[in-house]
Structures are given as C-alpha cells and as structure tokens.
Chains A and B, each alone.
Chain A
Amino acid sequence: DAKTTQPPSMDCAEGRAANLPCNHSTISGNEYVYWYRQIHSQGPQYIIHGLKNNETNEMASLIITEDRKSSTLILPHATLRDTAVYYCIVRVANGTASKLTFGTGTRLQVTL
C-alpha cells in the first residue's frame, strides 16, 4: 500500500470547516483513499473513502486532486465531538481481507 503523509496536528474553531490534508504521491491506479478517525481510547471509526471522484456523505466530504497525489477531508461544521485523530489510509482491493495500515494521523482539536 502507498505511504501517506499528514500534518501531526491541527486546530479548528467550532462551527468552522475543518480541512485535513493528506499526501499520497506514490498512490497506484487501483488504490483507494480511506479516512478513519479515532476519538480518545475508542476504536477507529470509518468516515469516507474514494478512488478519484470527490465524495460526500453525512459525515464529511473527500476532495481528491486530479493527479490523485493528495486529498483533503472536509468536516463542514466542526463540533467539539469531532476532536479526534484522523487517519488517511491508502488501500488496494485484491480479493482478500485487506489490512489497514495506520500512520500517526492528524490530531484535530476543535475549540470553542
């Protein structure tokens, strides 16, 4: 799986959009970009994934650049409950259970 690079930490004011960047410059054509988050001492939670088109769900939006070398997770209206470590992960579908390789992620702190 391709390696990802994320900033170690970010702050965001409550109610504002949180934009979390991720670089994955060695991504292959059949690799998907996944985002998970982990609230303190809980299990990670799936947020969203995409291949090359932008995606949106009830939690967030995922913007993937045209060359697919980077992406941005957008939380449109951050709340205090969004304070967590956010992980950007690149995965390939190969017909067997594909593991998640977690990096150190971005620690997002949402403040009043």
Chain B
Amino acid sequence: ETGVTQTPRHLVMGMTNKKSLKCEQHLGHNAMYWYKQSAKKPLELMFVYNFKEQTENNSVPSRFSPECPNSSHLFLHLHTLQPEDSALYLCASSQLPGLVPHEQFFGPGTRLTVL
C-alpha cells in the first residue's frame, strides 16, 4: 500500500457506541493530522502529532480521543458522539517543516454518520 490509508471508509454509529477510526501512512513522514469536514463548512483541523507527541488540540471535545502509537499510525477513538458530529474525517501526514513547510498528503477520509 502507498500513501495514506484510512479505515473504515464509511461508519454508522449510535450515540452510545464506541468506535475507532484508523489512519496509516506509508510515506515515512513524522507528522500526522486529523481534520473534520462537516457539510458545507471548511475543513477544520482537530489534532496535530509530531513524532508521536500531540502538539495541537484545536479545542476538540473530549468525546474525540486521538492516539498515535508510532509515526505511521494514528487513531481517533469515538464515544458518546452527537448527530452533529456526522462528517468526513480526514487524516493527513507530512514531513516536519524546516525552511519550507512540507505539503500534507491526505487520506480518502471516513464518512461518519451518528444516529
């Protein structure tokens, strides 16, 4: 596999369920990101990880819990979500920027529906 992969591609869950989204990158990058894209709204950054350490949490509710066990894998654990959390969840990875910020490579996303 190449690039950034995300599983599952589609997920339907109830408000009391617990589920996890998985992201894997095969690019040798050391920074990973979670973004949320709700209907008719711009992409919003949720979390940033550098070398497995979380460096940014963009005021995300605690019902979203990220985990980065190594530089290639990123999870988003979901529990007691609300219907308004239904959205496309996108994972991205990049090299850490030096003199030039590196481009981010995005996965195909997980389409989440909360009933």
- Where the two chains meet, the residues of A that have a C-beta atom closer than 8 Å to any C-beta of B are 32, 34, 41-46, 49, 91-105
**7 nearest interchain CB pairs?**
A43-B106, A97-B31, A46-B103, A102-B43, A102-B42, A93-B97, A98-B101
Q: Are A34 and B103 in contact (CB under 8 A)?
A: yes
B interface SS class: strand
Within 8 A of A (CB), among B44-90: 44-45, 48-50, 55-56, 88, 90
Q: Are B111 and A93 in contact (CB under 8 A)?
A: no
Q: Are A100 and B97 in contact (CB under 8 A)?
A: no
Contacts known (A43-B92, A91-B101); A100 close to B31, Cβ less than 8 A? no
Contacts known (A42-B109, A45-B106, A49-B103); A99 close to B97, Cβ less than 8 A? no
Which of the four size classes fits the interface of chain B?
A: 20 to 34
A interface SS class: loop
A49 contacts across to B, CB distance below 8 A: 100, 103
Tell me, in angstroms, the Cα distance from A75 to B43 when the chains sit together.
Answer: 23
Tell me, in angstroms, the Cα distance from A97 to B105 when the chains sit together.
Answer: 13
Query: Nearest-CB distance from B4 to chain A (Å)?
Result: 8
Q: Are A100 and B109 in contact (CB under 8 A)?
A: no
Having A43-B108, A102-B43, A102-B44, one finds 8 other A-B pairs with CB under 8 Å, namely A34-B103, A41-B109, A41-B111, A43-B90, A44-B92, A91-B101, A96-B96, A100-B45
Q: Are B97 and A97 in contact (CB under 8 A)?
A: yes
B31 contacts across to A, CB distance below 8 A: 97
Contacts known (A41-B88, A103-B42); A93 close to B109, Cβ less than 8 A? no
Q: In the complex, what residue of chain A is closest to B49 when comparing beta carbons?
A: A97
Q: Are A96 and B98 in contact (CB under 8 A)?
A: no
Contacts known (A32-B101, A34-B103, A49-B103); A99 close to B90, Cβ less than 8 A? no
Contacts known (A97-B50, A97-B97); A104 close to B42, Cβ less than 8 A? yes
